[in-house]
Amino acid sequence: MQTIMETLFDAVYLISVITIGMLMIRGSKGNPQFRLFGFMAVLLGAGDAFHLVPRAVALCTTGLEDYTVALGLGKWITSVTMTIFYVLLYYVWRQRYRIHGRPGLTAGVYVLAGLRILLCMMPQNQWLSADAPLSWGIYRNIPFALLGLLIIVLFYRSSRAHGDRGFRWMWLTIVLSFGFYIPVVLWADAVPMIGMLMIPKTCAYVWTVLIGYSAMKRECR
């Protein structure tokens, strides 16, 4: 039963975010903010598919232990695409609130994203092993968490300063996604049930995408 429910949940998630992203790309009517948001949503779904599709196949066939390499490769790819996702979200922030200049802030975003991707590429991660070290899971997620925190602060401040009702909860969706994700990184190997937090984490990302789509429907009539 768990296998069926998890597989269906992941399928609905992937189809939903990719479809919404494509609708945003087509329905943005030349608005670069929402067109970029659409590409961001497609990247989110496509990147997660590299991990979730092999996981679904594994659960429905011979089990996760027989798909260690495919799952590890998928997590590796997803880690990189999620980093790019937040860089794109940073540019959505710049476009929505008409931010100009601030090269130091942009440099900070690229430094954190670059460091995260560099750490993800290190062989010490042992992505393709069944016994990947927890320490490297922590190392690579430090710049990722800092990048997320930066995006949270930017959207929180700007949405309130501009009275932006459409994006007023964007910061919260990111808080929730990291709030559910970090315990999984730290303790899921020791307490497998903590891995269930990936479900509300995924829902938080769907909320993020829906915020962009709803804003587009209101503002691009």
Query: Which pLDDT tens digit goes with each residue over 174-200?
Result: 999 999 999 998 888 778 889 889 999
Q: Tokens representing 136?
A: 């490297």
What pLDDT is attached to residue 65? Answer: 86
CA–CA distance, 98 with 85 (Å, rounded to integer): 20
User: Using an 8 Å Cβ cutoff, are 7 and 24 in contact?
Assistant: no
Whether the predicted pLDDT of 11 surpasses 80: yes
User: Using an 8 Å Cβ cutoff, are 23 and 38 in contact?
Assistant: yes
Q: Tokens representing 221?
A: 């009539």
- At position 111, the amino acid (one-letter code) is V
For 64, which DSSP code? G
Which of the four pLDDT bands, split at 50, 70 and 90, describes residue 113? very high
Instruction: Give the length of the chain.
Output: 221
Q: Whole-prediction pTM value?
A: 0.95
- What DSSP string runs through 158-196? HHHHTT-STTTTHHHHHHHHHHHHHHHHHHTTTSGGGGG
Element containing residue 169 per DSSP (H, E): none
Q: Tokens representing 85?
A: 């996702």
What pLDDT is attached to residue 71? Answer: 93
pLDDT digits (tens, 9 = 90+) for 136-187: 999 999 999 999 999 999 999 999 999 999 999 999 999 999 999 999 988 8
Arithmetic mean of pLDDT, 78-88: 97
User: Using an 8 Å Cβ cutoff, are 37 and 92 in contact?
Assistant: yes
CA–CA distance, 21 with 129 (Å, rounded to integer): 33
Which of the four pLDDT bands, split at 50, 70 and 90, describes residue 123? very high
Domains annotated for the chain, with CATH where assigned, are: 2-219 (1.20.1070.10)
Backbone conformation region of residue 132, classed left if phi is above 0, alpha if psi is from -120 to 50, else beta: beta
